[in-house]
Amino acid sequence: MIADLNLASRPFRNRALPWTIAISVATISLIALALTVAEWTRVRAQEAQTERDLAILRNQVEALRQQAAQVRDSLSPEQIAAVQSAHMIIARKRFSWSQLFSDLEAHTPANVRVTRIKVRDVAQRGDRIFADLEISVVGRASDDVTAMIAELNAAGFNIEPIAQRPRQGRGASGIEWTFRLRYTPRSTGVETGRTGDERS
C-alpha cells in the first residue's frame, strides 16, 4: 500500500480537465444564447410583419368605408328606398311563411281562430331572418285567448298584447285580441324584441 502513495511535493494533477469542462460549459452557453437571440429575432420579425399586415388591412377597411360612404352619399332618396325595398323582397322570399302558419296552428286551440296577420317588417340580420307581426285572434271567451298566449309564450314567442275588445256587429260574439310578436323560424330559433316602430 505504501508503494502506491504519491509523496511528491507537487503531486500529479489533471489540469486539462477543468479547462475542458469550462470551455464546454461556455460553448453550450454561447450556443444557447445564439439560439435565444435567433428565436427572439424571428419572433420580432413575425410581429413586425403582422403589424404591417394589420396596417394594410386597416387601410383597406378605411378605404372601403370611404367608398361605401361616397356611394351612400351619391344615392338619391328614391334610390335608397329602392335598395331597402330590394332587401325586404329578398328577405320575404327567404322567409318560411308555411312554417309560420304551421307553428301558429300548432299552438292555436280549437276554440280560438286567427282572423288577421299583419306583417310589420321582414328583415335579415346576419344569417337570421325574422318577421315582426301583428296578429288578431277571436276566442269564445277571454280565458281561451289567454291560454293560447300562455302556450305561445311557453313555446318562446313572447307575445305582446296590445288590444282586447268584444266583437262588434250583428250576430258577433266572442273576444277579439290583437298582439305583436317577432317570429324567427325554428331553424334559427324564435327571437323576441321590440317590434316595428318601437325599435330604436
User: Residues 90-127: pLDDT tens digits?
Assistant: 666 667 778 778 888 888 888 888 888 888 877 776 66
Domain-wise residue ranges, the chain: 15-74, 96-198
pLDDT, averaged across the chain: 76
* 158 burial type by CB count under 10 A (0-12 exposed, 13-18 middle, 19+ buried): middle
Distance CA 163, CA 178 (A): 5
Beta-carbon contacts of 157 under 8 Å, excluding residues fewer than 6 positions away, are 107, 181, 183, 190, 192
- pLDDT, residue 15, reads 66
CATH superfamily of the domain spanning 96-198: Ribosomal protein S6/Translation elongation factor EF1B (3.30.70.60)
**Confidence at residue 194, expressed as pLDDT on a 0 to 100 scale:** 39
Confidence class for position 85, pLDDT limits 50, 70, 90: low
Q: What is the pTM of this model?
A: 0.44
| pLDDT tens by residue, 148-186 | 888 888 777 767 888 777 776 666 677 888 888 877 766
| Residue 70 main-chain phi, psi, to 5 deg | -65, -40
**56 or 86: which leads in pLDDT:** 56
pLDDT band at 192 (very low <50, low <70, confident <90, very high): very low
